[in-house]
Structure 1
Amino acid sequence: MNPSFVLNIFVTVIFAIVLYFILPILASDMPNQLSAAIGVLVGGLLVPALSKLFSSSNLSNDKDESSEVSTLYVGNLPYRADEEAVQEHFEQQGSVVSVRLMKDRRTGKRKGYGFVEMHPKGADKAIKNLNDSTFQERTLKVRLAKEKIEEE
């Protein structure tokens, strides 16, 4: 179960219990079931809103490099190169998240280009150090990949 979901349930129950005892004191003609229902309603509405507020402020303050990924286009790859060899080559520059080498759908043969996903610092270093460098007797072309534009 998601920890934030469990926390939301816990705080909602606390609100319900507190309002179950406090509302009848404030409004003596209010039945206990109504005060508990109001507590659950208030807790159920406030807690998710507050948790979103706090979690989004924490994310913007503590942007973790591990959550950000840059995609690199790698061109002029040797046709015999596989994902593992490309990953080993790029890991010298930084942490590699994934490697995808493009293949012809019909023949299954590699097309000589692919994409490497890396953390931004490693990606910048890879562009600087690996563009126009030699890999398995081929001169690589490394740059940031263009965003894929989906047609409607």
Structure 2
Amino acid sequence: MKSPNISTIVIAAIFAIIAFFVFSSITATPVVIAVFVFVSIFVALIVNIGSDNPQASSPTDHPTADIKTLYVGNLPYRANETTVRELFSTYGSVESVRLMKDKHTGKRRGFGFVEMSADGIDKAIESLNDAEFKERTLKVREAKERPERSDTSE
């Protein structure tokens, strides 16, 4: 189950405040107030389903068959997700950008992954592989599938 996003929480809180003032002015039992608050959470979820929130989108909005992942190596350390997204968006729709960081220092490691539409992936590889970007020569290729990790330690 997904955790609620901030707009759902805000809507539920507004309903809870309304419930408090409405039911405090009349003599209502705490059970009635609690039921109203729980109903308000469900109303907030229903209201939020129709929003354009990315968390509320269904997996069928972007079929994974049309999305491919590119490995991007030799990135400048000062490059951020926004600049890499802008660079690749000229070749197709960019779904996500993940620049890898060292887990101990938090500094960028000089490579990352770009998920983009399959129709632009070949043009992006052709145009950006061995291309100069902020004084670095990029290495761009289709990412290999990551092998499944086993949770057992020997």
Return the TM-score normalized by structure 1: 0.56
1:80 aligns with 2:78: yes
- Which structure dedicates a bigger proportion of its chain to helix? 1
Pairwise CA distance, 1:122 = 1.0
> Partner of 1:104 in structure 2?
102
Counterparts of 1:124 and 1:98, CA distance in 2: 17
Q: Provide Cα deviations, 1:63-107, integer angstroms capped at 9, x if missing partner.
A: x9x522100000000000000000000011111000000000000
Q: CA offsets, 1:86-145, max 9 Å, x none?
A: 000001111100000000000000000000000111111101110000111110000000
Q: Provide the residue aligned with 1:143 in structure 2.
A: 141
Is 2:115 the counterpart of 1:117?
yes
Q: Find the residue that maps to 1:148 and give its secondary structure.
A: coil
Unpaired runs of at least 5, structure 1 = 1-63
The one-letter code of the counterpart of 1:80 is R
Report deviation, 1:151.
3.1
Q: Where in structure 2 are there 5+ consecutive unaligned residues?
A: 1-59
Q: How does 1:30-49 map to 2 (within 5 A)?
A: none
Matches within 5 A, 1:37-76: 66-67=62-63, 68-76=66-74
Q: Secondary structure at the match of 1:149?
A: coil
Quick check: which has more Rg, 1 or 2?
1
The correspondence for 1:129, drawn from 127, 130, 141, is 127
More displaced, 122-131 or 79-88? 122-131
Identity among equivalent pairs (%): 62
Residue number in structure 2 paired with 1:53: none
Moved over 2 A (4+): none
Match of 1:25 in 2: none
SS of equivalent residue, structure 1 residue 81: coil
Match of 1:110, as an amino acid?
A: R
Q: Distance in 2 between matches of 1:151 and 1:100?
A: 20
TM-score, structure 2 normalization? 0.55
* Matched residue count: 89
How far, CA to CA, are the matches of 1:79 and 1:151 in structure 2? 28
SS at match of 2:121: helix
RMSD, matched Cα: 1.6
